[in-house]
Amino acid sequence: MKSFSLSWGIINLFLLLSTFSCEYESEDNQPPFDIAFKLLNGDGIPSSTFYGEEVIIFSLIIINTSKDDIILSRNGIEKDNIFRVYGTVKDVSGNSIVKDFGKPYGVLFCNKSLGAVLPANDTLKLEIPWSPTLSSDWGINFPFYNLHFCDVNDKEPLKKGKYWSSFTSSFEYYLLGTNHVTNTMDFKVDFEIFP
């Protein structure tokens, strides 16, 4: 009888510890910020359809949902493929292939040694037009060129067709002096350009 009680007690203790362990992991895997990846038109309105040489603005918004400041590390975020554009084109044989059209910037967070500070309950906007020179009238509304992006690429307007921008990233951040890394997240926006 003692053997059965002891075994049952050990099983209960194991289950209790497992429950607390799982709860801790799930809380730790939830970052204290929300992320939205979308495209905006020249009026700053979310859109997936654009006409002619209409301004296309790539927007990654990170909202700090905590009561503490966060430092987003420049090492943890995918810096090379955010806002990279892909499309399907025909090769010389008439076969459909995926083409990489590049991205509208050279370097992200280049002027920040650690990354970007995101104050408590505040928003960080990483936004840049596809063709910065075509949207020079947006200069007053886009002061972030100098804040987050270096080596802005002067991209040719995209032609009529269907495109997408996608990237996969984890986000490394510091909260209350402790380093954290999110799970890997996938982001994708599809869009179409009409003549």
Give the pLDDT confidence of 39-83 residue by residue, as tens digits.
999 888 999 999 988 889 999 999 999 999 999 887 767 667 889
User: What pLDDT does 85 receive?
Assistant: 96
Contact 17, 32 (CB under 8 A): no
Residue owning tokens 């002096």: 177
User: What pLDDT does 186 receive?
Assistant: 94
Residue owning tokens 């654009």: 50
The region of weakest confidence among 3-12, 23-32, 73-82, 170-179 is: 3-12
Number of domains in the chain: 2
Give the pLDDT confidence of 111-150 residue by residue, as tens digits.
666 678 899 999 988 888 888 655 455 444 454 555 677 6
Does residue 103 sit in the same domain as residue 10?
Answer: no
User: What pLDDT does 26 receive?
Assistant: 33
Burial (CB count within 10 angstroms: exposed 0-12, middle 13-18, buried 19+), residue 62: buried
Tell me the pTM.
Answer: 0.76
What are 25's two structure tokens?
């992991």
- Nearest CA to 34 out of 59, 61, 57 is that of 61
Its domain, for residue 20, covers 1-30
Does residue 17 sit in the same domain as residue 48?
Answer: no
Q: How many CB atoms lie within 10 A of CB 85?
A: 21
User: What pLDDT does 29 receive?
Assistant: 62
Does residue 158 sit in the same domain as residue 184?
Answer: yes
Does residue 60 sit in the same domain as residue 156?
Answer: yes
Does residue 17 sit in the same domain as residue 50?
Answer: no
Does residue 5 sit in the same domain as residue 81?
Answer: no
Does residue 102 sit in the same domain as residue 174?
Answer: yes
User: What pLDDT does 133 receive?
Assistant: 59
3-state secondary structure the chain: CHHHHHHHHHHHHHHHHHHHHHHHHHHHHCCCEEEEEEEECCCCCECCEEECCCCCEEEEEEEECCCCCEEEECCCCCCCCCCCEEEEEECCCCCEEEEEEECCCCEECCCCCCEEEECCCCEEEEEEECCCCCCHHHCCCCCCHHHHEECCCCCCCCCCEEEEEEEEECCEEEECCEEEECCCEEEEEEEEEEC
Chain center to CA of 124: 11
